[in-house]
Amino acid sequence: MKTMKSALITGISGQDASYLAELLLGKGYRVAGIVRDSGLADFSRIRAIRDRVEIFDADLLDQDILERVLRQCQPQEVYNLAAHSFLAHSFADPVMAGEYIGLGVTRLLEAIRTVDPSIRFFQASSSEMFGNSVESPQNESTPIRPRNPYGVAKAYGYWITVNYREHHRLFACSAILYNHESPRRSPEFVTRKITQTAAKIKLGLARELRIGNLEARRDWGFAGDYVRAMWLMLQRDRAEDFVLATGRTHSVEDFCRTAFSCVGLNFEDYLVHESEPNRPPESVQLVGNPDKARRLLGWSPTVSFHDLVKMMVEADLEILQSTRKGDAAK
């Protein structure tokens, strides 16, 4: 009889973790997840699979608890997806960003080394590490030059993962993730703000779209595609780092125009410009070269930019319409 694989996902209530948990359950895994406080956590993203996922309360600042969870869970694979990915948070509290996004990775790796060095480890790194990059597009060899506390902390997490792979011989790897979105993205992110506002205006629930720099460009993909690559990385014979991206960029204006066109509106009719504090000017375009992932993982994105935006707008319309029906029924 084939033994069921087991995986532990940190940040199980987040966007990426929810898609990854669904993927792993579909492949027959036993899935466990970590949250800082299950009494306060928002499990809405994993509502459909909540009864199939074991939840542990643990903090990336407490290595003893991490070791205890690893001994209880006994996973073959650990995916570290726990981190605030909203840049403003790292500016507001750079020390805490460093603790969780940087040193938290070290504690988790050290817990793995102590409890079971055969565990395969995945670290979610970020294109923000490239920051003021010397080249575009970026690949796995591009020098790391972060420009914000989040990127700096992610750079630490990336390099400590390399260190544990090379020095302690752990199967430990990082994906350098470019922007990836979905209907499960938090409303504080500009992409979800745009799709949610488009849906609200269509339903007569809002009258304006307040947005900052329309010219900023991003390499946007679908979160569900990216978690598939995460899994593929841990199935290989050799641990390596990969850039995960679409290789194409679109502007915030493109995103706005596409989102509003999905509901038959012109975004310019509702646009109100606003300033964006704490965001440095962008001199180099952050766009990833996913060639290595294509060659060695056989991975490529399946959801186009237009289809991603349309998916998000339609999901927001459905949520708002369901809420309105529920309120009317009270």
Residues labelled catalytic? 126, 128, 150
What residues contact 11, with CB distance under 8 A and at least 6 apart?
Answer: 17, 33, 34, 35, 80, 81, 82, 83
What residues contact 306, with CB distance under 8 A and at least 6 apart?
Answer: 258
Characterize 306-319 residue by residue with b for buried, 16 or more Cβ atoms within 10 angstroms of its Cβ, and e for exposed: eebbbbbbebbbee
Residue 137: asked if its preceding bond is cis (omega within 30°), the reply is yes
Please give the angle made by the CA atoms of 312, 314 and 320, to the nearest 5 degrees.
Answer: 100
Contact 212, 262 (CB under 8 A): no
Phi, psi angle pair for 216, to nearest 5°: -60, 135
